[in-house]
Amino acid sequence: MRRLLSAALPLVVASMVAAGCQTSSAATNSRIRIVSTVAPITDIVRQVVGDQVDLVGLIPDGVDSHTFEPSPSTVKALAQADILFMDGLHLEGSTLAQAKANMAKGSKIVSLGDLTVSPDQYAYDFTFPKAQGDPNPHLWMDPTYAIRFSELIRDAMVRRDGAHAEVYVANQRAFATAVTRVDTAVRTAINTIPANHRKLLTYHDSFAYFARRYGLEVIGAVQPSDFSEPSAREITALIDQVKATDVPAVFGSEVFPSTVLRQVASATGAEYVDQLSDDVLPGAPADQNHTYVGLIVTDVRVMVTALGGDATALDPVAVGPTWRHRP
């Protein structure tokens, strides 16, 4: 995932759009207004807040977050928000700048990732080399970090809306219970992959924390650190690496088609599987599996099957929403 929300709208314009909106929405609207960034984080927020608030995801369903640019509606959502939940770890730099310029006095920005891991826990890799200073930001792909995100969201909501504290606490508990079950099922499924096949070559460096959690090795990513297309030399190196490690499959994404991965697969005899995702939830918004849990289960099922394992441990996992309406 590239750093989201490039500064297509100058901050001065954003400030002008929001000039008349510099009071918390709670002052004019009894419902709290929450905004969030990428779809998995938006869903984690939803599982905690339920229907107690107005929630807007800044990256709409089905929109490529790598190419998404802020619009006046984005600025308006930030200007009216009481809380912004974001990943952090340098992922949403321009979003943070827009938020600081436009969010009302008394509103809050919660950088979930920066409150979840310390610098000594950062992952650096092919797309996010340490020399450039930006750690891999895809913390949510580790379910244990997703649980921590939900705790931070709960705590922020309890501080902001103590009248509904019991709702947020109960919703977070239900989400954490479901994700803990997912974590166990994922580990069981991945442990069925032959040991010499537990290697990932992906379209983007989205799985660093996931791999760390479950004992997989990320052997490469197609997207270089400058987010350009890989050079001929880099493609050759990927091909040689796949041949040397005998990886049975390389993984792309339906959202980000990769001719390079097809080329690597063709040159090595590996299967090209274009069904992984890190920031787009599966299915349509009304579908039962259009959730963070659905994302993890879908990815792991694809991954385990392609690498020669048995994904049936995932079959009993409930992928639907974990929150329920509470008056």
Q: Where along the chain do its domains lie?
A: 11-183, 186-314
Compute the distance between CA of residue 227 and CA of residue 209 in angstroms, rounded to an integer. Answer: 20
Which fold would CATH assign to domain 186-314? Answer: Rossmann fold (3.40.50)
Rounded Cα distance between 171 and 165, Å, is 10
Superfamily of domain covering 11-183: Nitrogenase molybdenum iron protein domain (3.40.50.1980)
Question: Residue 65 has what pLDDT?
Answer: 57
Q: What is the pLDDT of residues 30-78, one digit of tens each?
A: 799 999 999 999 999 999 999 999 999 987 765 655 555 777 888 999 9
pLDDT tens per residue across span 145-174: 999 999 999 999 999 999 999 999 999 999
* Amino acid found at 275: Q
Instruction: Tell whether the model's pLDDT for residue 122 goes beyond 90.
Output: yes
CA dist., res. 240 & res. 323, Å (int)? 47
* Residue 284, SS3 per DSSP: coil
SS3 142: coil
Cα separations (Å) of 15 from 59, 124, 281?
20, 35, 32
pLDDT attached to residue 193: 98
Sheet holding 249-251, edge to edge: 217-221, 199-202, 249-251, 271-273
Q: Is the pLDDT of residue 3 over 50?
A: no
> Is 285:262 a contact under the CB 8 Å cutoff?
no
**What is the pLDDT at residue 9?**
43
Q: Which amino acid is at 253?
A: S
What is the pLDDT, as a whole number, of residue 26?
42
Could you tell me the pTM of the whole model?
Answer: 0.89
pLDDT tens digits for range 256-315: 667 889 999 999 999 999 999 998 899 999 999 999 999 999 999 999 999 999 999 999
pLDDT at 259: 85
Say which residue the tokens 């096949």 belong to.
Answer: 197
Read off the pLDDT band of 224 (50, 70, 90).
low
The mean of the pLDDT values for the chain is: 87
- Lowest-confidence range among 11-20, 24-33, 237-246? 11-20
pLDDT digits (tens, 9 = 90+) for 132-141: 888 999 999 9
Label residue 230 by pLDDT band (50, 70, 90). confident
Radius of gyration of the chain (CA): 20
